[in-house]
Chain A
Amino acid sequence: MRRAAFAVLGTAIGATLLIGAKLGTSTDDPGTQVALEEETGDASASPSPGGTAPAGKATAPPAKKPAAKPPAGGLKDGTFAGATANYDYGAIKVTITVAGGKVTDADATYPDEDPTSAGINENAIPKLRQQALAATSASKLNTVSGASLTSAAYKASLQSALDKAKA
């Protein structure tokens, strides 16, 4: 539920940023919690209405200054960060990077000043080890666990072979 909500919210914010980038202006609609904050080399970023400093991942300034007019791609070059948006489950901040008129990177961070969102951040990544799938024909097996076997599948299964070998 929570992750789905994050995804929906992140997408919504990202879309707003795209619109902002497309227009080359920041959106200052007071009706929305999301505002554009253009982080450029000349540090002329428009202030975020929320006043929340980004505590998430720092975004690198673009190599060149943003073009005065949107290039052919229609998007203004630069890094655009949304203001921190608060909602029931915490806070989220989405940053997109535009280069050559195209979105080259999109990132969502969860500023962890807020105790609510800090709790979520800790649990956002499951405590699981990841590894590549291995396929072995290990010997000395006593039995095999697998998804429900039909009779036909059982006949072809490793379990069936084990049963035959040892019954």
Chain B
Amino acid sequence: MGTAGLRRVEQIMGTPISVQLTDPLPARRLEVLAEQTFDWFREVDERFSTYKEQSEVNRFERGELSIKDCSADLRLVVETCADLWRETDGYFDAYATGRFDPSGYVKGWSVQVASDRLLAAGCHSHWINAGGDIRARGGPRPGEPWRIGIRHPWQEDKICWVLGGNDFAVATSGTYERGFHVIDPYRGAPATELTSVTVVGTDLGRTDAYATAGVAMGQSGLRWLSELPEHEVGIVTSDELCYRTDGFPVLPTEPPQRPATTRSDLPGQPAPRLS
């Protein structure tokens, strides 16, 4: 590819975090920006990990820290988790494990903050990928979109879509990686109908939470996701069908492996059937 810039991966928060910066800035400057980015993720891990005894989240959970004594960051996280619980009819639940565990929001939120900080620091062209959840701005070269593959649910080395954009948050949640680990809080059982849910928006914390909630909803998540305002979705169901909103930013894959038009792309085809 020969894309200029800086590329780095580190394992933080139990997750591989990959970063690419492509602004035409001095190499040393890019290094400093990358270092600041990873420092932020290490800080988030210290403050928000439920595995670290003295993390701010655990002190808040144990009642050692009242909500008014929390950092502004933690207050924001607590409040947003409450908002998301309401917005998702309870399907995104930071208390699902019986204690306050905002990890499902913190990962996306921390990436969003890191990207916002890069932008403020003059880095307009970058992406950050934390465990498959991505915030991307700019592009590999001026005028070109970032090309983001959506992993094929059953073939780890394949993709089912390529998305293109120059300012978007892309989050994917699914049942395939750790088994059926997304629990429907109403049934108390794993949801299995939606194998992979990708949500595209501008705020990675929210898109990640919506994707997780959509998987937990199972079949009824199809409609809920399709009606999310200002978000686009792409879904793979357990019966190997794909659904996407009209605005889902798919790019043609290269090389085309099948005729460009599939039956369901033609007008007048039956709409997806819900049973």
Contact = CB atoms under 8 A, between A and B. Distances in A.
Contacts of A160: 16
B152 A135 contact: yes
Given A130-B241, A147-B173, 13 more contacts: A124-B274, A131-B242, A141-B147, A142-B140, A142-B148, A144-B132, A145-B133, A145-B148, A147-B172, A148-B177, A151-B16, A159-B18, A166-B20
Contact of B254 (A127, A139, A148, A156): A139
B97 interface: no
B53 to A, nearest CB: 22
B150 A163 contact: no
A10 to B, nearest CB: 11
A147 B170 CA distance: 11
Range of interface residues on A (Cβ < 8 Å): 35 or more
A130 B264 CA distance: 6
A138 interface: yes
A129 B16 contact: no
A132 B226 contact: no
Interface in A128-167: 128-151, 153-154, 156-163, 166-167
Contacts of B8: 167
Given A126-B226, A132-B264, A150 B272 contact: no
Query: Chain B contact residues (Cβ within 8 angstroms of A): what range?
Result: 35 or more
Interface in B196-242: 196, 198, 220, 222-223, 225-227, 233, 235-236, 240-242
A163 B11 CA distance: 13
A3 interface: yes
Nearest to B220: A3
Given A130-B241, A135-B155, A142-B147, A149 B265 contact: no
A154 B147 contact: no
B7 interface: yes
B127 A143 contact: yes
A129 B174 contact: no
A143 B274 contact: no
Interface of B: 1, 3, 7-9, 11, 14-16, 18, 20, 127, 129, 131-134, 136, 140, 146-152, 155-163, 170-178, 196, 198, 220, 222-223, 225-227, 233, 235-236, 240-246, 253-254, 257-258, 262, 264-265, 269, 271-272, 274
Nearest to A149: B131
Nearest to A3: B220
Contacts of B11: 151
B220 A131 contact: no
Given A128-B235, A163-B18, A134 B226 contact: no
A142 B49 CA distance: 29
Contact of A125 (B15, B262, B274): B274
Given A137-B157, A141-B149, A146 B271 contact: no
A167 B132 contact: no
